[in-house]
Amino acid sequence: MMPISGQHKLRLGVNIDHVATIRNARGGDHPDPVRAAKIVAECGGDGITAHLREDRRHIRDEDLRRIQEATDLPLNLEMAATEEMLAIALAHKPHAACIVPEKREERTTEGGLDAAGLHNQLAPIVSQLLDADIKVSLFIAPEERQIEASLRLGAPIVELHTGEYAHAHLDGDGERIAAEMRRLSDMAALAAKNGIEPHAGHGLTYENVQPIAAIPQLAELNIGHYLIGEAVFFGLEKAVLKMRDLMDEAR
């Protein structure tokens, strides 16, 4: 794994799930998430993230193949820790698989994966993905026990959940913002110190992204819902390019 420093470009992975959400609302083929993936590739995005949920509420199985065929960008497959999703990941061989917690009733992924409490469930899944040369990421809260659990599981990457930081920004709570920034900074540093590549994501916007992007150990941000929302008004290319500019300014 390459050393991580503030001198390295911070990668931007764009989650295209909610293009598929709009498509599925009418049951047809438009708008096509594959077209979104191509636009992200053309405007300098570094990767595509797609969450194949158990209920298939947005991304569908066939979308994975089509995305992989349409662009050379690395595909980061977000997935629950189930045998069904493991089989799909092994069949499609994405660049990376990010294991996330999943509840059918939730609107979006509400918290981090309990890597510490689910060690026995996660260990064989992580092992099989790694054996297939799929990079494994665990989507965790910025907590020391979760970093330690990820290390024990042999996960080469963690994605730090930035939801609490984003909520603090929405509330205008300066103390909470500062506290969450300390947690995220400390856990990114701890992960990197232990040879784990830290990423971050969830709830990031134009208004709150720069302090996160300035954390020197972070190698990648994954952003989806906000960019698709901005794309409704300004187009996906402009939305992605603006986020890219803000991230670069922070570095």
Supply the residues annotated as catalytic.
51, 78, 202
Query: Do 48 and 14 form a contact (C-beta atoms < 8 A)?
Result: yes
Q: What sign does the dihedral 136-138-142-143 (CA atoms) show? A: negative
For residue 69, give Cα distances in angstroms to 73, 92, 134, 175.
Answer: 10, 11, 17, 46
CA distance 27 to 47: 27
Closest CA to 155 of 190, 200, 202, 122: 122
Report d(CA 217, CA 199) in Å as an integer. 9
